[in-house]
Every structure is written in C-alpha cells, then in structure tokens.
Amino acid sequence: MTSHPSRGALNPYAGMPEKPGFTLVSTDIQDGEPLPAELYGEGAGGSNRSPQLSWSDFPAETKSFAVTCFDPDAPTGSGFWHWAVANIPASVTDLPAGAGALGGGLLPEGAIMMPNEQREPAFVGAGPPEGTGVHHYWFVVHALDVEHIGIDPQATPAVLGFMMREAVLARAIIVATGEFGGAA
C-alpha cells in the first residue's frame, strides 16, 4: 500500500501483504478531511451516525465485502475499533448513512455487525480525548474472495481482521480526521 499524507503515521495495514485498491466515495466523509459533527459520538457532541459509503472498480472475483472503521491514534496501545461489518453480499456496493445503527436495520440481508470497542454491535462515533491531537479514522471496504466469513457475531473486529486476512483481494480506503472538540 502506498503512503498517503492524509493517512497519518500509524498505518494499520503497513505490516500486512500489500493489496490493490479500488474506488470508495462518500457523501459524508472525504480523504484527509475532518469528520462531520454527526460522525462523532454522543458524548462528543455528535450522533454516532455511520457515514454513507459507495464503492466500485473492485476485482471481478469479489464474492463479499467487509467494512471497518479503525482509529490507530487512540491512546490505548492497540487503537480503537469504531465499526465492523462482515458478510456484505458482492451485489451490494453501498451503505446508506446510519447503516451502523444498533440493530443493523439498514444493512443488507446476511450482513453481521461486530461489537465495537464499547461492546455494542453498532457504529460508535469519534471521541478523541483532550490532548491527544489529530486522530485518523480508517474507513475501509475489504473485497473478499469468499461469500461468508465464518465468525461468531460476538467476536471482535480484530478477530474479523484475522479471519479474513487470506480472503482479502483488495481494499478501498478513506481516512478522515478528528480531534477533541471537533463536533462543537
């Protein structure tokens, strides 16, 4: 994967096999730009709304997708998983804003949402602690060569990453930024 100035120094995919990219766009977020207020957590002045995402130009042999959002800049020593969805059918090429709501009512049939760091199967918005600088939110669509990842729906997003590592054909990435007080 090539480096990108908007993606910060902590690239969560740097130690993984390099994969080709494909197109990922959003009406809510832009690569290298600050998150809108709605994508912050409720405690940070936002509404925990996941962004709209659309993707195209993925490999023809794609059989499913997974979507993740990770903040490697969180002051935890292990980053912070905001969102993970597995088993999105290959026929689905977009998720509406709010698809990460608890209950997953806007997700396609068969998709499963993994628990975030707060142990809820939902999108949890940004909430960088004061004094931790700019955080980078890696929204990634993973094109996979399997129809389903056989994973316990209560497993963590890190386990999902491990389970799908051999199935990843390509990744599409938008890295948006956020910082303490960004939703205000």
Q: Does the pLDDT value for residue 6 go beyond 60?
A: no
Percent of the residues in the chain that have a pLDDT greater than 70, as a whole number = 95
Q: Does the pLDDT value for residue 57 go beyond 60?
A: yes
Percent of the residues in the chain that have a pLDDT greater than 90, as a whole number = 90
Which tops the pLDDT comparison, 16 or 114? Answer: 114
pLDDT at 184: 72
The arithmetic mean of pLDDT across residues 47-66, rounded, is: 98
Q: Average pLDDT over the chain, rounded to whole? A: 94
Q: Does the pLDDT value for residue 2 go beyond 70?
A: no
Q: What is the C-alpha separation between 4 and 56, in angstroms, rounded?
A: 20
pLDDT at 9: 62
Contact 137, 35 (CB under 8 A): yes
Query: Which DSSP category does 72 fall into?
Result: T
Give the tens place of pLDDT for each residue, 139-150: 999 999 999 999
pLDDT at 86: 98
Give the tens place of pLDDT for each residue, 79-128: 999 999 999 999 999 999 999 999 999 999 999 999 999 999 999 999 99
Q: Does the pLDDT value for residue 64 go beyond 60?
A: yes
pLDDT at 3: 44
The arithmetic mean of pLDDT across residues 163-178, rounded, is: 97
Burial of 108 from C-beta contacts in 10 A (0-12 / 13-18 / 19+): middle
Instruction: Put residue 175 in one of left, alpha, beta given phi > 0 → left and psi -120 to 50 → alpha.
Output: beta
pLDDT at 8: 57
The arithmetic mean of pLDDT across residues 62-83, rounded, is: 96
Give the strand pairing for 64-71 and 135-144.
antiparallel
- What sign for the dihedral angle of Cα 180, 159, 122, 85? positive
pLDDT at 55: 98
